[in-house]
Structure 1
Amino acid sequence: MTTPRGARGAVPRHDDRRRSFPQVAPREAPDGRFAATWWGNAWVEALEDTALDPARLARGKAYAGRGHVDAITVTPGRVVAYVHGSRPRPYRTEIRMRTLGDDGWERFLDEATARPDHIAALLDKDVPHALEAVTGLLPAPGDLVPDCSCPDDGYPCKHAAALCYQAARLLDEDPFVLFLMRGRGEQELLAELTRRNAALSAAESTAAAPPMPTVPARAVFDAAERAGLPLPPPLPAPDRPGRPAVFPPDPDAPDPLALDLLASEAAVRAHAFLITGHDPVAALTPWQDAVRLAAAHPGSGLTASTRALYRDLAYALDRTPTDLARAVAAWRQGGAAGLAVLEEPWDPPAGPFDRARPALIAADFPAFRPWRNRLSTDSLQLRLGRDGLWYGYESDAGREDWWPRGAPDHDPVGALTDLLGR
């Protein structure tokens, strides 16, 4: 027997746009719902809202609950599985939908890259409402088109309904299945998010830290000695620490990410010594130091290695990666004071806090509800720090999932204006 050319020892190529999932075990749904997430339920509702026969839906749900749906294969625009019915041979069943166009994916990627909380949510297998709102990722009623090899011409038949219910369970476990249904694979999306985040970080670093002029130390000493002149004053300290060089991977060298983090850490601490004369790390708790370390690396949380860093740092301190990502956003907003604002509600004395609500109303902002040091609407929040600064926060409406955003300000109107980007 002759082996085809290239087949011997060939490594199967990974197809990022095709995923197969083993048969989902039967599961009872006491509340009658198959999905646990809001996007999983939205998927089911899109089919249920256009179903012509509720009885077929009920039978489809029972089929799904009894494990009649075999392995499911997902490709862009299509979900396919064999579903067992009353006959010995299963039926080939599929659900089709349109894929998202290039413009829609551009909006999705722009929105995800613009906010660190969105990236953190995706990495934690969550779909922010805001991402769905700008792209229309979830199907609307009528977007899902069922098809089945069975003789039933119902819309949908019970086999297609069963597949839809089981697919909702896959979406619960991994929202990247939804993105694949709409046309993009997980690795493809993560690679593009990483590229955009790195470009954004590089642009910010270049704009914020222009190179400083330098003078060789030996030349200064030699010239001063020859002329009998005192040494010139030292150069002014830079506004912020510089970024380290990019370390190429080498099998005999330490991990490049670890080197990058160590170099970033050294630059930050050296800058602090230069400016203040003391070590800012000495008084930090282990949690504060972990947050500071993660915040020192702009690309943390995107690639596989940096996701592992977030996971290891978080779990070592009994926190989740989302907890760490939120804390990093607070640290970047205001350092240790910003982290304290995130984690420590307190009762401010009368004065600036009491004057904040009338000032916001006078500036034509909506009425805010007070609670301790916080003023909130359904999606916006201002928190007064013990340092007298107002810190902006944002959440999807009704979720109470607050993320730091914007620059702190002594004026609540100024902090809110920056938060809204006015």
Structure 2
Amino acid sequence: MTDRNEERTFAALPPAHGRGFAQTWWGLAWLKALEDAALDSEQVKTGRRLARAGAVGAVSVRPGRITAVVQDRDRTAHRADVLLQELSEEQWDHFLDMAVERAGHIAALLDRDMPPHLVEDAAAAGVELLPGLGDLEAKCDCDAWDHCGHTAALCYQMARLLDEDPFVLLLMRGRGERRLLDELQERGSAPVQVPPDTSREGVDAAEAYAVGDILPSLPALPELPAEPAQAPTLDVETTPAPGVDLASVEFLATAAAGEAYRLLAEALVSGHGQRAVEAELTPGQDAVRLAAGGPEKAIAQRLAEGSGRDREELQHAIRAWRYGGAAALSVLDDEWAVEAESLARARAALESAWDEDERPRLRAAHNRWTAVGASTQLRLGRDGRWWPYRKERGRWVPAGPAAKDPATALATAEGNPMNG
């Protein structure tokens, strides 16, 4: 590649079998300018076949002109040129003023993107970036007076280059990337740094970070509202569709507002909108989560059915959810064999938790240790924490949050019988 400021030379591209020549909207706009202006559609089709077969050599791009050698099927070589009028100094002034006012336009170009609003804003400033009908002038040594197969092939190849880097179009219009960004920096207050050519290779992290200097600063974090948003009351004068329970829909809306409030609070506390990734809830677990919001009796009954529990079991599940969410529900519902390594750690924790003369007698069964002669139990979670349980009305029910120390968990079970 030659001097980046005034000319760029791109190596010949491989054949384009099985793919279109343009994938971006601006690449397609370039081809439309060719196809709309060419008087002989057969020449356009010939050019498309030549380009698809890889007959276009290295492409040289400089202000006002692109050039390449194109081979016919009989291997005869022709020099093809396509001309596009450069923008005037006044037009470039308008474009630069517009771009400086909108840092997002600069960021898009540096990301090798040409969003429609950039082109629209430029047009509003009197600058037409993309070629229109008749703007692509053809010259070829085959002596065709209009677009021939060779210049059409060059245009199709140019569309592939534009897809990768819209700065190529700006170079044709009269400004190389380095000069353009230097002028933007002179007009703006923030430094504009040229990234390496990212169309075919990766970018060093430090260079990518430096490019961020041109972007506007992030807005300040919003303040947390005093309470969740009030869910709307549905129009009771409108007859709902069959099967739609208005009370249930209103309850779900209120629950969604509460969950959004919780997520926002966590994001603001972290300062970066980051939070631990939670496992996706099963339908049964989600029914328990909703039931923990205290719905009316009819909705609670539907949630109990959805969770696969009777009303009493649902109350136990709600208590577990409030103590520890999905992890606590898993301990309530599931019994599993503890792996050898985890079992060894659990036994060591149980041995060291009490003095020898105070250690309770525990009977082990999978991940559960039941106190002999008492109505208390320890359950080991998959994360290694201990969950306290107490027997109430013939059922083991959660008695408190998890603890890292089994003695603490057992004391919780002994001192916190479940109510109701």
Higher relative contact order (CA 8 A, sep 6+): 1
- TM-score of the two chains, using structure 2 as the length reference: 0.47
- TM-score of the two chains, using structure 1 as the length reference: 0.47
Larger radius of gyration: 2
